């Protein structure tokens, strides 16, 4: 049964989320307001709790800070091939930003794969991806500069990711950004993953700031939906191949890389 508590999880497939945001932005926002008003105190606290007046910036991780999406794609495709399923690149990128267990559940359901294999599939994908990223992952353009930029301006900084905390810790050390981070939050053990906003709301609470005071950087459609559902400002940096798509219109700003962000862009967001 769908209730106010689980509507973000049960509202539908990835394709349904795409339709909602791409075609029905005004309706989506109205529904979101209704959801917030009826949400239990657990979520209301995450939306409104704030004892400090502070500015914060929250970064997604995979595909934004580190070029890891190809390795997640490889791991996922390799796993599905064990079931004689050949996932296209377009299919894969429609589901980026999802937590691994939700990614597996989505495609197992889509291809009608027996769910008894799901748990081992999740573990297999995560282990393969972490191994590949730890060995071969490299920073995306502009990573050192943007952390230095926000540090000089006194912003609190955090990572909010769908990936396991184990991988987030590896990436923070690999990219030498741990010293900048006030916290790292993973959706791994939260009730919901992106496109539900829980990981972003939880991150804002840990930072001690209101969601509306946060600027978030994302590269995936599901991540963008999560940010906007949390009532945060969103800077989206899509893949070059999908940069032109209208679905990114829900974001507050669209850039080609982190390296393009500077004083002018910050001032535009702060207006």
Which residues are known to be catalytic?
Answer: 60, 62
Angle at 176 between CA 175 and CA 179, to 5 degrees: 135
Helix (H, G, I), strand (E, B) or coil at 233: strand
Give strand ranges (E) for 139-209.
156-161, 183-186
Stated as kind and residue range, the H or E segment containing 234 is: strand 233-236
For residues 242 and 93, the answer to whether their CB atoms sit within 8 Å is yes
Stated as kind and residue range, the H or E segment containing 229 is: helix 221-229
The candidate with the shortest Cα–Cα distance to 102, out of 121, 84, 83, 88, is 121
């Amino acid at each position: 049964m769908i209730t106010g508590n689980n509507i973000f999880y049960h509202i539908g497939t990835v394709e349904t989320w795409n339709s909602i945001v791409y075609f029905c932005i005004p309706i989506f926002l109205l529904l979101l307001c209704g959801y917030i008003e009826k949400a239990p105190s657990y979520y209301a606290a995450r939306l409104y709790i704030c004892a400090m007046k502070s500015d914060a910036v929250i970064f997604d991780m995979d595909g934004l800070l580190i070029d890891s999406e190809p390795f997640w794609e490889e791991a996922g495709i390799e796993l599905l091939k064990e079931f004689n399923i050949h996932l296209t690149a377009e299919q894969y990128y429609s589901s980026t930003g999802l937590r691994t267990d939700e990614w597996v559940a989505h495609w197992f359901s889509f291809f009608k794969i027996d769910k008894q294999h799901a748990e081992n599939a999740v573990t297999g994908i995560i282990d393969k991806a972490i191994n590949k990223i730890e060995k071969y992952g490299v920073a995306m353009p502009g990573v050192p500069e943007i952390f230095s930029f926000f540090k000089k301006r006194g912003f609190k900084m955090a990572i909010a990711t769908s990936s396991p905390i184990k991988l987030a810790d590896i990436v923070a050390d690999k990219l030498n950004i741990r010293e900048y981070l006030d916290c790292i939050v993973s959706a791994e053990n939260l009730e919901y993953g992106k496109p539900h906003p829980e990981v972003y709301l939880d991150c804002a609470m840990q930072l001690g700031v209101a969601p509306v005071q946060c600027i978030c950087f994302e590269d995936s459609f599901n991540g963008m939906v999560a940010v906007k559902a949390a009532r945060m400002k969103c800077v989206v940096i899509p893949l070059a191949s999908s940069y032109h798509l209208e679905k990114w219109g829900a974001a507050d700003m669209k850039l080609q890389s982190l390296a393009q962000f500077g004083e002018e862009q910050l001032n535009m967001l702060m207006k």
